[in-house]
Amino acid sequence: METGSRWLAALWILFFAVLSPCVGSSSPQQIDPLMYEEQLLWVSGAQGEVNTYRIPLITFTSKGSLLAFTEARKGSASDLGAKFIALRRSTDKGATWSPTSFIVDDGLKPDGLNLGSVLVDDEVGSVILVYAICFHEYQCKPSSTMMVESLDDGLSWSSPKNLSVQLGVKAFAPGPGFGIQKRFNPAKGRLVVCGHGTLAGDGVFCILSDDHGRTWTHGGELKSIPYNQQKKALDFNPDECQPIELTDGTIVINVRNQNNYHCHCRIVVRSLDGGLTLPIDHLYFDTVLVDPAVAAGALQKDGVLYFTNPSNNQHRVNLTLRWSLSNGHSWVKEAMQIWAGPSGYSCMTSLDSGSAEDQKFIYVIYEKGHKDYDETVSFVKIHLYGGR
C-alpha cells in the first residue's frame, strides 16, 4: 500500500510538472471569466452631505495604484445640482480601499459638475481628470470644461483649471470613462479625451493634448443630425463614449446611440490619425452590442477587446461582459453576466505591467442596484482564465 501511494504521489508530481506550464499560460482562446471579488465602494441613500453616487470611473496609475472616482450628488439623484467628486484609492489592486475623499466641491451650484474622463500620462506619471460644469446651462452660463491633476499618484490634486479659456466656450461632457494616452503611432504620447456635446448640439467630440495636458486643442468631431436642432426619436444622435487604442494605433470609440438610430445598439467610430478626425467612412453599428442607450465600458488588453453594458435593448439591467479576439469585428458568443438586476454606467481598467499575474485580471466599476441602478457603485475584479 505504502509503495503504491508513493508511486501515485510521484506520478502526480510528474503530471503537474509536465502540465503546469500549459495550465499557467494564458492565451486569449482560453478566456473564461470568473467573478473573483466584488465590493460596494459607494452606497447611495442620503448619508451625510451626499444623496446619490453615480457615474463611476476607474483607472490604474503609472505606479499600479487603483483610483475609483464617482459623482457624489448632494441634493438628489439628478444630473443637475451640486456635487463633489469622490475618490477612493487602493494600493493592493482592489483588495482594500482608502476612505472616500472629496477632491472637488462645486459648492451649491444649481447645475454643478459632471464627470468626466480620467487619464493617466505614463510618460510623466500624472493623473488628469477632465469634467464639465454648468453642462446643461440650467440657471448658469456658460458651460466650462475643467481639469484637475495629481502628480503624486492620486494622493493630492491641483485646484481646477478652466480649459475653456484655451478651447473656447462649448458645452462638452467628457466620457464618461477614461481618456487615452496614445501608446502607438500616429501621435504616440498624445492625450485624447472624447465626450459629447449639448442636447441639441450633440455628437462625439475629442480634445487633444501633445504636451501632457498643458495645452489642449479640438480634435475629431462626429456631429448629430440634424445638428443644433431639436431631435426626434430615431435621429442620429451619438452621445456618451469610450475611446480605446488598438495595437496598430487606431482609436476605436464605442458610442451611446441616444435616439436608437438604425438599431438599439452601439455606434462604433474609428480614428486613424490619432484623434484628429472621426470620418463617417469609419463608422458602423455593432448590432451584437444590444444597448438601452447608456454609457458603456470598453478596454483593450493584450490584443483582446472587452465591452461592458447592461445588455438589454430597453432597460438598464443585465450588466454583461463581452470580449472580442478580432478588434470588435465579432464577439465571442460566451458572454459573462456580471449582474442580472438593475445596472447602469460602467468603466474598466487593467494593469499592463508585463507580469503573468497582471495579465489575468480586468477590473470593472459599475452602477448596481436591486430596484434602481443608482443604489450603489460596485467594484469587480474579474479573473479572465476562470481562476487558473
Residue of 118, 137, 245, 128 whose CA lies nearest to 175: 118
At 21 the three-state DSSP class reads helix
> CA of 11: how far to CAs of 5, 25, 111, 143, in Å?
10, 22, 69, 70
Instruction: Give whichever of 96 and 162 is closer to ligand NAG, judged by the CB atom.
Output: 162
Report residue 142 CA to chain centroid gap: 27
As a whole number of angstroms, the distance between CA 178 and CA 347 comes to 8
Shortest distance, position 313 Cβ to ligand NAG, whole Å: 8
**Which of 90, 320, 324, 346 is the binder for ligand NAG (CB under 6 A)?**
320
Options 36, 37, 38, 79, the catalytic residue: 79
Counting every residue written for the chain, the total comes to 388
| Options 66-74, 113-121, 148-156, 157-165: segment touching ligand NAG (CB under 6 A) | 157-165
Shortest distance, position 134 Cβ to ligand NAG, whole Å: 7
Shortest distance, position 237 Cβ to ligand NAG, whole Å: 23
Q: Is residue 169 part of the contact set for ligand NAG (CB under 6 A)? A: yes
| Options 163-171, 190-198, 220-228, 273-281: segment touching ligand NAG (CB under 6 A) | 163-171
Instruction: Give whichever of 165 and 356 is closer to ligand NAG, judged by the CB atom.
Output: 165
Q: Is residue 24 part of the contact set for ligand NAG (CB under 6 A)? A: no
Q: Binding to ligand NAG (CB under 6 A): which residues in 51-90?
A: none
Shortest distance, position 370 Cβ to ligand NAG, whole Å: 15
Any catalytic annotation for residue 367? yes
Number of residues that bind ligand NAG (CB under 6 A): 12
Options 306, 345, 363, 385, the catalytic residue: 345
Cell numbers of 31, please? 478566456
Q: Binding to ligand NAG (CB under 6 A): which residues in 324-363?
A: 335
Report residue 167 CA to chain centroid gap: 24
Pairing of strands 173-174, 191-196: antiparallel
As a whole number of angstroms, the distance between CA 260 and CA 4 comes to 68
Q: Sheet of 83-90: strands edge to edge?
A: 52-60, 66-73, 83-90, 101-105
For residue 186, whether the previous peptide bond is cis, meaning omega lies within 30 degrees of 0, is yes
Shortest distance, position 320 Cβ to ligand NAG, whole Å: 5
CB atoms within 10 A of CB 359: 17
Asked if 191 contacts 209 with a C-beta cutoff of 8 angstroms, the reply is yes
Residue 363 phi, psi (nearest 5) = -130, 130
Instruction: Give whichever of 332 and 335 is closer to ligand NAG, judged by the CB atom.
Output: 335
CB atoms within 10 A of CB 352: 13
**Which of 312, 332, 358, 383 is the binder for ligand NAG (CB under 6 A)?**
312
Instruction: Give whichever of 287 and 326 is closer to ligand NAG, judged by the CB atom.
Output: 287
Residue 28 phi, psi (nearest 5) = -55, -30
Pairing of strands 376-383, 361-368: antiparallel
Q: Is residue 164 part of the contact set for ligand NAG (CB under 6 A)? A: yes
Binding mask 292-311 for ligand NAG (x = CB under 6 A): -------------------x
Binding mask 113-152 for ligand NAG (x = CB under 6 A): --------------------x--------x-x--------
Instruction: Give whichever of 51 and 318 is closer to ligand NAG, judged by the CB atom.
Output: 318
Beta partners for residue 323, in sequence order: 306
Options 367, 374, 375, 385, the catalytic residue: 367
Q: Which chain residues interact with ligand NAG by CB under 6 A?
A: 133, 142, 144, 162, 164-165, 169, 311-312, 318, 320, 335
- The residues annotated as belonging to the active site are 79, 345, 367
